[in-house]
Amino acid sequence: MANLRAFAMPKWGIEMTEGVVAEWMVAQGVPFRKGDLLALIETDKITNEVEAEADGMFARLIAEKGGTYQVGELIAVLAGPDDNPSADEVDAFVAGFRPAETKAASRAGAAPPPPPAPAEAEKAAPVKKAARIAADANISPAARALAEEQGVDISGIAGSGPQGRITFQDVQQASLPSASVGGGALVDLTPIGNRLDGVFASPLARRLAVQHGVDLGGMAGTGPRGRICKADVLARVKPAEGPAITPMAFTRPAAGTADIVRMSPMRKAIAKALSHSKSTIPHFYLRSKVRIDAILGLRAQARAATGEAPSINDYIVRACALALVRHPDVNVQVHGDEIHRFGSADIAVAVATDKGLITPIVRGADTLSVAAISREVKTLADKARTGKLQPEEFQGGSFSISNLGMFGIDQFDAIINPPQGAILAVGAGTRQPVEIGNALAFATIVEMSLSCDHRAIDGAVGADFVRTLKSLIEEPALLVG
């Protein structure tokens, strides 16, 4: 009898309720090895790669490519690599599958699990006694109720909320039973590349040789003094076999017709969040023109010294971070009738991807140099465009920046990214005549617009923030000091 296992829609992040099977990377009935890429699962913001936890194969692929499925819903059936299950066995497994009892599964129409048999009831864990929690404990009301109900001792829980506050998720995690670890054969931890220690090859060539199974023995290197280099290894790598992929040509719809394209999960999430923001948050806008010639001078100096320089946006992120520290009433999130003020500036930077807009977060930007911010933004932007962002890298944040200057947009107003209280829109730099010291001169001007949530930020507070931000940008020595 085959050892069949469920392959259900995974859950990444607290708010995830459904996912889209973007691609099956292994065909049904084809064996795979532990660590092989099995599927690409697309959520509201990112595309996750699901790797095999053990050797096996797909006895049946249930989910269709591009289909949307609830968290916990069965999307495939796994079997051992040497198993040969019959269609009846697989049908029986699918019919008997029940999703985990979650809100998402309930919405999917999952039937409640059957009551335990008497023998199983005897083995059930004993009922936990209700816990008593001190009235002054740093714990949220929902977490307190759960801890008292489940009998969880909160003395050993390190709170993940603001100022170490114990959250509902902290208690929920602490209430789970400890997972048993062990079993299986011993694993050899000796690095695979050690067998190449006697080969005169570059480190990169060795890694490629191990990755592609290339034998370096007797290979004549083309590098200095006969050293085997990257090109030598790649010359022996066999190209992957498979059908040729041709780029998809754009077909113009016939006159009087229109192509209908279904929204991706990310596009639906953007539409829902921004529609809610624009309709429920009372926006007001503060606009200012800022000279950036001093920043351009600093960039030129950095490029001459190192060959590269941070972008103008990197300097603006740093300026916003310092201004937010000086004006904590702008460094906020709004949750119902509560305003959450933050001690550090966690700035979300809008990045355009082929699937929509996403805002990865530069954490603690007030503690980072402009160069460090530049490196962090580049890393986050690359991960955003390839769908590699983790939930903690784009969820939260206390402030947002959207820069369309590189597209030649002079000025625009941005929609607030809830629950944040403000977002800064940045336009392109243009040469304009200005009065400087009772004389007419030309300067590079950037138009900025600060969108504020009037429920939490008053006009005078926002205006004071903009004034500080402008002084920091026009005197950027303060940014690198």
Query: 403 Cβ partners below 8 Å, 6+ apart?
Result: 313, 316, 349, 350, 425, 426
Task: Looking at the structure, give the CATH architecture of the domain made up of residues 281-480.
Answer: 2-Layer Sandwich (3.30)
CA distance 274 to 2: 49
Nearest to 420 by CA among 268, 281, 272, 265: 281
Contact 449, 286 (CB under 8 A): yes
Name the pairing type of β-strands 68-70 and 18-24.
antiparallel
Name the pairing type of β-strands 347-349 and 399-403.
parallel
- What is the identity of the amino acid at 406? M
Within 10 Å of residue 405's Cβ, how many Cβ atoms?
Answer: 21
Across the strands, what pairs with 442? 433
Q: Helix 370-385 and helix 312-326: axis angle, to 10°?
A: 110
CA distance 283 to 411: 17
Contact 67, 87 (CB under 8 A): no
Contact 21, 41 (CB under 8 A): yes
What are 399's two structure tokens?
């402030």
CA distance 380 to 345: 17
Contact 368, 479 (CB under 8 A): no
Residue 228 DSSP symbol: B
CA angle 197, 200, 202 (to 5 degrees): 90
327 a catalytic residue: no
Phi, psi values for residue 458, rounded to 5°: -85, 165
CA distance 63 to 75: 5
What are 137's two structure tokens?
């404990």
Tens of pLDDT along the chain (481 residues) come to: 678 888 988 887 666 788 888 888 888 888 898 888 888 888 766 777 788 888 888 989 998 888 888 888 899 999 888 888 888 888 888 888 887 654 444 444 444 445 555 544 444 545 556 667 887 888 888 888 888 888 888 887 888 777 778 887 788 778 776 655 455 555 454 444 455 666 787 777 777 777 677 888 778 888 887 888 888 888 887 654 444 444 445 567 788 888 887 777 777 777 888 888 889 999 999 999 999 999 998 888 888 877 788 999 999 999 999 999 999 999 999 998 899 999 899 999 999 887 778 899 999 999 999 989 999 999 999 888 887 888 888 888 999 999 999 899 999 999 999 999 999 999 999 999 988 888 888 999 999 999 999 999 999 999 999 999 999 999 877 777 5
Contact 68, 20 (CB under 8 A): yes
The pLDDT of residue 5 is 87
Contact 49, 37 (CB under 8 A): yes
Question: For residue 435, what is the enclosing H or E element?
Answer: strand 422-436
Residue 347 burial (10 A CB sphere; 0-12, 13-18, 19+) = buried
The pLDDT of residue 340 is 94
Task: Compute and round to an integer the Cα radius of gyration of the chain.
Answer: 28
The pLDDT of residue 122 is 47
Tell me the helix, strand and coil percentages in the chain, rounded to 5. Answer: 35, 20, 45
What are 64's two structure tokens?
């269709």
Domains 5-107 and 281-480 share a fold: no
Greatest CA separation for the chain: 92
* Residue of 212, 276, 335, 454 marked active site: 454
Q: Which fold has domain 5-107?
A: OB fold (Dihydrolipoamide Acetyltransferase, E2P) (2.40.50)
Within 10 Å of residue 434's Cβ, how many Cβ atoms?
Answer: 14
The pLDDT of residue 257 is 83
What are 341's two structure tokens?
């003020």
Which pTM does this prediction carry? 0.55
CA distance 443 to 429: 9
Query: 65 Cβ partners below 8 Å, 6+ apart?
Result: 21, 22, 23, 24
CA distance 79 to 102: 25
Q: How is the chain split into domains, by residue range?
A: 5-107, 281-480
- What is the identity of the amino acid at 329? D
What are 174's two structure tokens?
């602490």
Own/partner pairs, 432-441, CB within 8 angstroms, 24+ separation: 432/289, 434/291
Residue 296 burial (10 A CB sphere; 0-12, 13-18, 19+) = middle
The pLDDT of residue 246 is 45
Tokens 């921004």: give the residue. 274
